[in-house]
Amino acid sequence: MKCRTVQKRLSEYVDGRAAAGIARSIEEHCASCDDCAKELAFLRSYRKSMSALQRKSAPADFLEKLNRRLDVPEPRRGIVRTLFHPAGVKLPLEAAGLLAAAALIFVILVPDEARKADPPTRTGERVAVTESADPALHAVDEPVRPPVKRRVPQTASRDKTAGQTRVYVIAFTLHSASAPALAMNGAPHGRAGEHEEMKAADAYVSRAKVAAARQIPPSEEKKETADRLKEAGSSADIRTAVRRSGATIIEEKCDAATGRCSSITLDIRREAYASLLDELKGFGDARPERSAPKTGAGTMRIQLRFSGD
């Protein structure tokens, strides 16, 4: 056994806690090693001296003083003690600071459980809820409490945060032939009749034909779409398709000069979301920025953002 190993074990050895084999090795080593033998001698002498130290007795007035202190009512916990000694456990200032920072970050990044429960397609954009005759939208307008505190009724929207509505954005690339289905001269939904919409479609198809004569002819698919739009009458209009899926148009953003709409905001029952996408297929390529939740009840707000082909 080497000196270093022996000296590591000597403390246990003098206390009689070393295993028999180790104890024998230590004894053999110390018999031939002066340094380790001196260390062993010191430890033995040390133990003897320490255990022989005179025991101190409590002062004569110890009990009297103690009783005086016991008679004093326990002081109330101060604010510092409450903050840094919760449950009687000392909490260092550094730990308290770290906890506070973590709590702050948590509050900032995760404002409520609704976001965690219903995370997917929020874009950060919020719009004020506008009035609507649709009863489902009145449900949206209800003031909301955090979901932890109450169970959200099945009829109410779950896509709300602090009284505002979450908007699911769908980027929509229109086939060029579908453009007339969107032209509204900036008129909000409901003011333009289907007859006007058809006139716009006709005008577009005419322009498309002129363009086709001058430039590259539209693809067969686009031609078919244009034909279908014209033949299908009012049902070819995107708004009609939207309404057919059960959605209610809330807002449109259209350029008064060109008559082209850049976006349509609508409310739709969550269960009708898939049928909306089906309805829109014929007009272009819909690319939801994130997939909307597939389950749950209530109304969701969607913004269709249009761009050309």
Partner 1 sequence: MKRNLSTTERDDGTLVGETLAGDRRAYDLLVLRHGDMLYNLCFRMLGDYDEASDCAQDAFIRAYRALGSFRGDAAFATWLYRIAVNTCRNRLASAEYRRSRKAVRLEGTGADDALLPANGRASSSNPTERFERGEREARIQRALDALPPDEKAVAVLCDIEGKSYDETAALTGVPLGTVKSRLARARRRLRSKLEGIV
Q: Contact positions toward partner 1, by CB under 8 A?
A: 8, 10-12, 15, 17, 39, 42-43, 45-51, 53-60, 62-63, 65-67, 69-70, 74, 90
Other CB atoms closer than 10 Å to residue 240's CB: what's the count? 17
* Distance of closest approach, residue 7 Cβ to partner 1, in angstroms: 8
DSSP string of 92-152, one letter each residue? -HHHHHHHHHHHHHHHHH---HHHHHS-TTEEEEEEPPPP-S-HHHHHHHS----TTTSPP
* Distance of closest approach, residue 149 Cβ to partner 1, in angstroms: 35
* Distance of closest approach, residue 31 Cβ to partner 1, in angstroms: 21
Cβ-based neighbours of 268, under 8 Å, separated by 6 or more = 245, 246, 247, 248, 276, 299, 300, 302
Q: What are the tokens at 73?
A: 């009512």
First-last CA distance in the chain = 85
* Distance of closest approach, residue 24 Cβ to partner 1, in angstroms: 19
Residue 56 or 214 having the CB closest to partner 1: 56
Residue 17 or 207 having the CB closest to partner 1: 17
Q: Is 305 left (phi over 0), alpha (psi -120 to 50) or beta?
A: beta
Q: How far apart are CA 221 and CA 231, in angstroms?
A: 15
Pairing mode, strands 248-254 and 160-161: unpaired
Sort 280 into a burial class: Cβ within 10 Å, 0-12 / 13-18 / 19+.
buried
Residue 49 or 154 having the CB closest to partner 1: 49
* Distance of closest approach, residue 30 Cβ to partner 1, in angstroms: 16
* Distance of closest approach, residue 109 Cβ to partner 1, in angstroms: 36
Contact by Cβ (8 Å): 225, 157: no
Residue 67 or 295 having the CB closest to partner 1: 67
Residue 11 or 307 having the CB closest to partner 1: 11
Residue 87 or 213 having the CB closest to partner 1: 87
